Amino acid sequence: MEYATLGKTGLRVSVMGLGCGGHSRLGMSQGKSDTEASLIVREALDMGINFIDTAESYGTESAVGLGLQGVVRDRVVISTKAGVGWQDRRCTADEFKQRVDSCLQRLQTDYVDVFHVHGVRIEEYEYACEELVPALMDLRTAGKIRFVGITEAFGPDPTHKMLVRAVQDDCWDVMMVGLNILNQSARERVLAVTQKKQIGTLCMFAVRRALSRPDALRELIAQMVTDGLIKDVDPDDPLGFLVADGVADSVQDAAYRFCRWEPGIDLVLSGTGNVDHLKANAESLARPALPPEIVERLKSMFAGVDSVSGN
């Protein structure tokens, strides 16, 4: 496992982070118990993955806490999150502090390394800054969190409206951004600034439904062609060139490597409830960058796309 520095935080993190949300949620979305899910956490640690990302809304914090029992605390970087919304309204600062305390209890730890305001939309951003960031600063002073982060809602906001606004401010140590082969718009809109400001940057959505299911990819590509977003593609095998001549083992392998070597990305999140899948993803993220001509082809092919997430 390779490691990188997470922006100005100085934290040394594995270039692959274990994502505990998504469709799998450590297998809990398929009925696994906390104990069964915690084994994925332990396996990730044994592989050298030291960045674990969870959230209040995922329902996996308790499984993560269980998986980290007996682990020396400074061996692992814990990231968790809570959103602006709370009980059909916006959360107050005091309520947000209470929610952070509940996260710590479920994780069975005294502090988390990164606490994010989760899935913030552009219309919520000013409230998050004015009401919730001061609460996080208080918690940092109290030693309950080390660094303050923010994550976007990439599905409904594939153009990154919120993060384009957020990178203008100096209160964020870490950001989580959606980026993949199909939608590379974060490169100029977000990553160009996070690199200059040394904001630690986590990549989500490197592989989601469209890049893991051939039928879904064909359907999405066909719609993009119809919409005039892309052209000159094989409708039956639109990304087949990625596996030709041994360039990559699979579309998923290429997708992870594309994001892993994108300038400005510190680590790529990967979620699963299956140990073999976890190992396969780690192998992809340990491989070299895709050939420059392939990267340039992908950049050119999807240069006009900012309307999809790939989910």
> 8: which DSSP letter?
G
58 tagged catalytic: yes
> 10: which DSSP letter?
-
Q: Which of 256, 262, 223, 228 is nearest to 242 (CA)?
A: 256
- CA 203 – CA 205 distance, rounded (Å): 7
- CA 178 – CA 277 distance, rounded (Å): 21
> 207: which DSSP letter?
S
- What 3-state DSSP class applies to 19? strand
- What 3-state DSSP class applies to 28? helix
Q: Which of 162, 134, 161, 133 is nearest to 149 (CA)?
A: 133
> Ramachandran region of residue 268, left (φ > 0), alpha (ψ -120 to 50) or beta?
beta
Token pair 């009401």: residue: 131
Catalytically annotated residue among 58, 125, 127, 256: 58
- CA 43 – CA 31 distance, rounded (Å): 19
User: Which residues are tagged catalytic?
Assistant: 58
